[in-house]
């Protein structure tokens, strides 16, 4: 019998495989550098991880007044949910914008949080807005204004006090809310953005800023994952620092004594903690009323969006401080 010879791996096959992997890597690098396709897919995947149904909270005193109702936007994705504590009198309005880099996310991720706010004695609008890169800045500002306009037009139907309005949000929604503070108090900013403001400065009682970014000149340096790519997708400009659109997005640089009262929080392990400090410094420098909560980690790391972990004592403290801020500003 002939002895069978063992076959040795074909060395050329390994080289071919390595060459294919290298080629794919180079192609991905080129696409990543010159296009937002991969970044958009990556960001939307990350955002989708946080949009699952949270454990339902029992709010027997809260009614859902509207669900997936159009707020008559001329842009896509202009819908909202509306919650209110059962009451025979009008209540202050909170308009809330979700986070997600302006690229992903959905109002559904904020349902329980908005219902919790409503249970404190408010009508809370949980809004969606059109996402980048399909919708460039400042589309989202215009949509928040459209939502406010719709809600005030129907204020009597939903028990809203039009003289007591708050705007809030988390992460990208925090940045968006900070911009709305400018939009309703700074005539120059209003003219740059366009449209007719639905609120006067007197009607806007305050803004709620959870874990956002506020200075586009320094946000890249925070190292927050994919933050520079998300601003590229939002503005259409890769090297955005120093551009006109970046200057418009820079809330810190445009703070004035006319800016509304602010509630701001951020955990010490959040890369945006430096952004919170910059915003607070700008507010103090202009004599603006601000309630800040920047807790330091003692047990669980207080990372991005710590205020959403409602079983944590720091998140509970953030909610109590926010409730106090809203109560004082609603008087």
What is the DSSP-derived secondary structure letter of residue 108? G
pLDDT in tens, 165-218: 999 999 999 999 999 999 999 999 999 999 999 999 999 999 999 999 999 999
Task: Establish if 51 belongs to a structural domain.
Answer: no
For residues 149 and 260, give the distance between their C-alpha atoms in angstroms, rounded to a whole number: 19
Task: Establish if 9 belongs to a structural domain.
Answer: no
pLDDT in tens, 89-121: 999 999 999 999 999 999 999 999 999 999 999
28-32, 62-66, 274-278: which range is least confident on average?
Answer: 28-32
Show the tokens assigned to 190. Answer: 């209003």
Return the SS3 of 35. Answer: coil
E strand or H helix that includes residue 28:
helix 11-34
pTM for this predicted structure: 0.85
Of residues 60 and 27, the one with the higher pLDDT is 60
Q: Give the pLDDT band of residue 1 (cuts 50, 70, 90).
A: very low
Provide mean pLDDT across the span 286-307. 97
- Check pLDDT > 80 for residue 18: no
Task: Establish if 130 belongs to a structural domain.
Answer: yes
270: number of Cβ within 10 Å? 22
pLDDT at 14: 60
- Check pLDDT > 60 for residue 300: yes
- Check pLDDT > 50 for residue 57: no
Task: Establish if 13 belongs to a structural domain.
Answer: no
Report the Cα 166 to chain-centroid distance in Å. 15
For residues 165 and 288, give the distance between their C-alpha atoms in angstroms, rounded to a whole number: 18
Domain encompassing residue 132:
61-329
Show the tokens assigned to 90. Answer: 């009008």
Provide mean pLDDT across the span 324-330. 98
Task: Establish if 10 belongs to a structural domain.
Answer: no
How does the average pLDDT of the chain come out, rounded? 89
What percent of the chain shows pLDDT beyond 70? 82
pLDDT at 170: 98
pLDDT in tens, 138-160: 999 999 999 999 999 999 999 99
Q: Give the pLDDT band of residue 23 (cuts 50, 70, 90).
A: low
Q: Give the pLDDT band of residue 60 (cuts 50, 70, 90).
A: confident
β-pair type (204-210, 123-127): unpaired
pLDDT in tens, 216-230: 999 999 999 999 999
Relative orientation angle of helices 227-235 and 37-48, to the nearest 10 degrees:
120
CATH of the domain at 293: 3.40.50.1820
Task: Establish if 106 belongs to a structural domain.
Answer: yes
Count of domains for the chain: 1
Task: Establish if 210 belongs to a structural domain.
Answer: yes
- Check pLDDT > 90 for residue 13: no
pLDDT at 151: 98
Task: Establish if 112 belongs to a structural domain.
Answer: yes
């Amino acid at each position: 019998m002939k002895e069978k010879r063992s076959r040795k791996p074909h060395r050329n096959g390994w080289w071919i495989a390595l060459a294919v992997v290298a080629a794919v890597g180079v192609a991905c690098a080129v696409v990543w550098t010159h296009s937002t396709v991969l970044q958009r897919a990556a960001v939307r995947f990350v955002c989708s991880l946080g949009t699952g149904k949270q454990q339902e909270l029992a709010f027997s005193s809260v009614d859902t007044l509207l669900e997936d109702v159009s707020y008559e936007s001329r842009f896509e994705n202009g819908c909202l949910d509306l919650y209110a504590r059962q009451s025979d009198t009008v209540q202050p309005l909170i308009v809330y914008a979700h986070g997600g880099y302006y690229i992903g996310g959905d109002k559904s991720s904020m349902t329980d949080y908005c219902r919790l706010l409503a249970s404190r004695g408010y009508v809370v609008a949980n809004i969606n807005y059109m996402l980048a890169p399909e919708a460039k800045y400042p589309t989202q500002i215009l949509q928040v204004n459209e939502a406010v306009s719709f809600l005030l037009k129907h204020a009597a139907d939903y028990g809203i006090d039009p003289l007591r309005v708050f705007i809030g949000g988390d992460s990208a929604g925090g940045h968006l809310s900070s911009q709305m503070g400018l939009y309703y108090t700074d005539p120059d900013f209003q003219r740059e953005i366009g449209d007719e403001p639905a609120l006067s400065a007197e009607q806007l009682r305050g803004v709620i800023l959870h874990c956002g970014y506020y200075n586009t000149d320094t946000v890249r340096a925070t190292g927050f994952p994919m933050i520079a790519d998300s601003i590229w997708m939002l503005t259409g400009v890769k090297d955005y620092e120093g551009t006109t659109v970046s200057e418009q997005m820079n809330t810190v640089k445009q703070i004035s004594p006319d800016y509304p009262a602010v509630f701001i929080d951020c955990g010490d392990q959040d890369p945006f903690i430096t952004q919170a400090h910059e915003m607070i410094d700008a507010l103090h420098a202009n004599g603006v009323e601000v309630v800040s909560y920047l807790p330091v980690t003692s047990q669980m790391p207080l990372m991005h969006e710590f205020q959403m972990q409602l079983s944590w004592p720091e998140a509970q403290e953030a909610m109590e401080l926010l409730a106090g801020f809203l109560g004082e500003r609603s008087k």
